Chain A
Amino acid sequence: MKTFGGPVLFLDRSDINTDEIIPAKYLTEITKEDLKPYILEDLKLPGFDPKGPKTKTAKVIVSRANFGCGSSREHAPWVFEVNGITAVIAESFARIFRQNMFNCGMAAIELPAADIDLIMSHAGDDDAAMTIDIEAGSLTMSGGGKTKSFNFEISPFDKALVLAGGWVDYADSKY
């Protein structure tokens, strides 16, 4: 199983699409590692710099509704993975992106909008960090001297994929 949790990158907008996460012109790369420099390259958000230090240190992304919409490219989870980001917390996800995350043994965790608001309130904290316990279904957000825990649910199948480290071995042994 992968490890989850650490410094948080806040992307405070709905409908962040996979073209913004990894532009199509980089889909000609044959290895996942080659995608690394291009993470979130086309995402335009006030105060966000894809090449900035927060992108480099982040282990978790927090965003709003419909995260990962658009193309089916699994290059989107991969570019996160090779940059050390293994979890995305959002109000909701596009179906293909969400499944791609779990298929890679990564976590796409949905929380209600009110919880995302509370987590987003840490966006200005330099020490904003999150711990995530997949088995217990809980995460803890800390920063600026405050700490708060949240419970989440992921489907039993998706949890099994995270625990197994992905879908290929699981399916090959079973079907």
Chain B
Amino acid sequence: MADEAPSIEYLRAAAALQGVHPSDEDLEAVQGFLSVLLPAFSELETMTPAGTVPAGMFVPIDQP
């Protein structure tokens, strides 16, 4: 995953594909969030051992 936030043009187009039409000012704020989140998300892929099943919608009920 890229560590840099996508461009305003990319974000505008991707939002439009989902029927949402934000202002450039809004998308600049989004870039701020993504610039922090995307590098952190990249690490998720490396911290999960092979064969780990998802937690699912609700975590299970069992004892420690």
Tell me whether A and B are bound partners: no
Residues in chain A within 8 A of chain B (CB atoms): none
Residues in chain B within 8 A of chain A (CB atoms): none
